[in-house]
């Protein structure tokens, strides 16, 4: 019996030891997995199944998960290989040609109609000024918001050139050429740049993008090593002053704020005085876009210009009329009102990225006789480009 009891004790002990070691071994196996997810990692990252589900025959999961997570945080889970190749291809997609992106909406809208119009070239109708191609082309240009005057001008000119039915490519090239001529015909307003401080005033209705453009311009000037001062001249909206101040802080430039009850002209005066005192290279002045009446606003803008000119004869050196491209032809009506108050040296056409009405640039240039100086291509600090007619036309009608 004693022997039997001993045997039972030994077998039980051995069995317990076996279970115990298996349990320990299982814990050991489990530990590395749980420790690969740091405690304060976001839950989505904790749950990232790449390290668990990626087939072992593919890239070592532990290694591949690191670059994947860094390069492509929103990559679909469980696809380590494709995510890795996405990461390799990312630079191509991440650096799109700026003009291509800015004109994406306008181009898509224009281009589908353009192709539709070209299909008329196969029509058997006799070739003359009444050929269906011309009507379709007219619709195409109007839809891109070139406006009735500009559309008619371009069409009449093309009709004269093509007394015979053209090849599609030749027609496109000719249209591009004529579009470029529209911009070339607008004389550049002479802007004195060899002055210090160089004074810029931004004008335009509320929401056009004045404050944003002031920030972008200040950032560009600062990047060129210039000392810049901003003037928060939209004294009628507290939020507008704060908005410019935020831009100034972010860029790291000084911003002249209105004193209690100050009007835009007083801020303009202070900003120019500060620029002279601090020997700044540039001063960029934001203005109000709306007052109780239109006449009040225009009078106020005239006063801003007068006050600056008094402080620095000949200044402001540059008056930029800021127009919202999404308004298309309607922007022209506003532009005409503002031009009467202050003669603009150039137009800034903002929100080109959000508009299918980029064609308005032609009408703005031709009808107002004011060159487009810049285009706004987004809300970030770098989204302001010097206008290039070649790039514009090339990407509008590729």
Measured from the CB atom, the residue of 166 and 207 that comes closer to ligand GDP is: 207
Element (H, E) at 182: helix 168-184
Q: CB of 309: closest distance to Mg ion in angstroms?
A: 23
Measured from the CB atom, the residue of 174 and 290 that comes closer to ligand GDP is: 290
- Give yes or no for residue 287 binding Mg ion (CB under 5 A): no
**Stretches 15-23, 186-194, 224-232, 235-243: which one binds Mg ion (CB under 5 A)?**
235-243
CA angle 185, 113, 324 (to 5 degrees): 55
Query: What string of DSSP letters covers 197-215?
Result: SEEEEEE--TTSSHHHHHH
What Rg do the C-alpha atoms of the chain give, in angstroms? 32
Measured from the CB atom, the residue of 83 and 283 that comes closer to ligand GDP is: 283
| Residues of this chain that bind ligand GDP (CB under 6 A) | 204, 206-212, 243, 289, 322, 350-351, 353-354, 376-379, 383
Residues pairing with 169 in the sheet = none
Measured from the CB atom, the residue of 195 and 381 that comes closer to ligand GDP is: 381
* Long-range own/partner contacts, residues 150-153 (CB < 8 A, 24 or more apart): 150/182, 150/359, 150/362, 150/363, 150/366, 150/367, 153/366
Residues 6+ apart with CB under 8 A from 296: none
Q: Which does 378 bind (CB under 5 to 8 A by kind): ligand GDP, Mg ion, none?
A: ligand GDP
Residues 6+ apart with CB under 8 A from 90: 71, 72
Q: CB of 324: closest distance to Mg ion in angstroms?
A: 12
Q: CB of 289: closest distance to ligand GDP in angstroms?
A: 5
**Stretches 139-147, 153-161, 207-215, 269-277: which one binds Mg ion (CB under 5 A)?**
207-215
Q: CB of 234: closest distance to ligand GDP in angstroms?
A: 7
Q: CB of 211: closest distance to Mg ion in angstroms?
A: 3
Compute how many residues bind Mg ion; rule: CB under 5 A. 4
**Stretches 104-112, 160-168, 232-240, 347-355: which one binds Mg ion (CB under 5 A)?**
232-240
Q: CB of 231: closest distance to Mg ion in angstroms?
A: 12
- Give yes or no for residue 211 binding Mg ion (CB under 5 A): yes
- Give yes or no for residue 199 binding Mg ion (CB under 5 A): no
Q: Does the CA dihedral 368-373-378-379 come out positive or negative?
A: negative
- Give yes or no for residue 65 binding Mg ion (CB under 5 A): no
**Stretches 60-68, 95-103, 239-247, 328-336: which one binds Mg ion (CB under 5 A)?**
239-247
Nearest C-alpha neighbor of 192 from the set 371, 345, 384? 345
Residue 221 Cα distances to 195, 215, 278, 373, 375, angstroms: 14, 10, 16, 15, 16
> How does DSSP classify residue 122?
G
Measured from the CB atom, the residue of 282 and 353 that comes closer to ligand GDP is: 353
Q: Which does 167 bind (CB under 5 to 8 A by kind): ligand GDP, Mg ion, none?
A: none
Q: CB of 34: closest distance to Mg ion in angstroms?
A: 53
Q: Which does 351 bind (CB under 5 to 8 A by kind): Mg ion, ligand GDP, none?
A: ligand GDP
Distance CA 326, CA 323 (A): 9
| Spatial contact of 354 and 311, defined as CB atoms under 8 Å apart | no
Q: Which does 204 bind (CB under 5 to 8 A by kind): ligand GDP, Mg ion, none?
A: ligand GDP
Q: CB of 338: closest distance to ligand GDP in angstroms?
A: 12
Measured from the CB atom, the residue of 233 and 359 that comes closer to Mg ion is: 233
Angle between helix axes 360-368 and 168-184 (nearest 10 degrees) is: 40
Q: CB of 159: closest distance to ligand GDP in angstroms?
A: 36
Tokens (6 digits) for 248: 């100034």
- What letters, b where the CB count within 10 A reaches 16 and e where it falls short, cover 242-267? ebbeebbeebebbbbbbeeebbbbbb
Tokens (6 digits) for 132: 């269906």
Q: Which does 282 bind (CB under 5 to 8 A by kind): Mg ion, ligand GDP, none?
A: none
Tokens (6 digits) for 337: 């009102």
Q: Which residues bind Mg ion (CB under 5 A)?
A: 210-211, 234, 240
């Amino acid at each position: 019996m004693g022997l039997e009891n001993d045997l039972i004790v030994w077998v039980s002990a051995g069995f317990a030891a076996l279970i115990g070691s298996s349990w320990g071994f299982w814990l050991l196996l489990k530990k590395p997995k749980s420790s690969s997810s740091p405690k304060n990692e976001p839950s989505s990252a904790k749950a990232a199944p790449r390290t668990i589900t990626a087939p072992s025959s593919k890239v070592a999961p532990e290694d591949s998960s690191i670059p994947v997570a860094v390069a492509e945080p929103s990559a679909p889970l469980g696809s380590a290989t494709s995510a890795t190749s996405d990461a390799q291809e990312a630079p191509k997609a991440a650096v799109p040609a700026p003009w291509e992106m800015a004109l994406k909406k306008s181009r898509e809208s224009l281009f589908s109609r353009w192709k539709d119009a070209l299909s008329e070239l196969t029509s058997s109708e006799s070739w003359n000024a009444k050929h269906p191609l011309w009507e379709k082309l007219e619709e195409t240009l109007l839809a891109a918001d070139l406006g009735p005057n500009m559309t008619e001008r371009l069409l009449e000119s093309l009709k004269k050139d093509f007394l015979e039915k053209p090849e599609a490519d030749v027609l496109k090239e000719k249209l591009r050429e004529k579009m470029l001529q529209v911009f070339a015909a607008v004389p550049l307003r002479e802007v004195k740049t060899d002055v210090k401080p160089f004074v810029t005033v931004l004008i335009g209705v509320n929401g056009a993008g004045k404050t944003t453009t002031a920030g972008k311009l200040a950032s560009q000037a600062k990047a060129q090593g210039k000392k810049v001062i901003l003037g928060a001249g939209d004294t009628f909206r507290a939020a507008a002053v704060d908005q410019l101040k935020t831009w100034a802080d972010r860029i790291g430039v000084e911003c002249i704020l209105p004193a209690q009850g100050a009007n835009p002209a007083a801020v303009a005066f202070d900003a120019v005085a500060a620029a002279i005192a601090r020997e700044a290279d540039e001063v960029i002045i934001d203005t109000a876009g709306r007052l109780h009446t239109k006449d009040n606003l225009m009078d106020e803008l005239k006063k801003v210009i007068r006050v600056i000119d008094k402080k620095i004869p000949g200044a402001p050196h540059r008056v930029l009329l800021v127009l919202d491209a999404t308004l298309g032809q309607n922007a022209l009506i506003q532009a005409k009102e503002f031009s009467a108050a202050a003669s603009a040296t150039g137009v800034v056409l903002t929100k080109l990225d959000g508009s299918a009405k980029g064609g308005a640039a032609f009408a703005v240039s031709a009808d107002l006789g004011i060159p487009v100086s810049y285009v706004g291509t987004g809300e970030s600090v770098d989204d302001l480009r010097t206008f290039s007619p070649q790039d514009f036309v090339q990407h509008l009608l590729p």
